[in-house]
Amino acid sequence: MGNEIRFRRVLLKLSGEAIADKKNGEIFDSGIIDKIAGIVKRLTDDGVEVAIVIGAGNIWRGVYGKGLNRARADEMGMLGTMINSMRMEDALETAGCRVTLMSSIPMQGFAEPYDFRKARRHLEKGKVVILGGGLGTPFITTDTAA
Ligand code: UDP
47: CA distance to ligand 1 center in Å?
A: 30
103: CA distance to ligand 1 center in Å?
A: 14
| Res 97 pLDDT > 90 | yes
| Res 3 pLDDT > 80 | no
Q: Residues 125, 126, 127, 129: what is their CA dihedral angle, to the nearest 10 degrees? A: 100
Residue 28, amino acid: F
Q: Ligand 1 pocket, 61 CB below 6 A?
A: yes
Chain segment 118-142, per-residue pLDDT in tens? 999 999 999 999 999 999 999 999 9
Q: Ligand 1 pocket, 57 CB below 6 A?
A: yes
Q: What is the mean pLDDT of the chain?
A: 96
| Res 2 pLDDT > 80 | no
Q: Ligand 1 pocket, 112 CB below 6 A?
A: no
Q: In whole angstroms, how large is the CA radius of gyration of the chain?
A: 15
d(CA 116, CA 94): 26
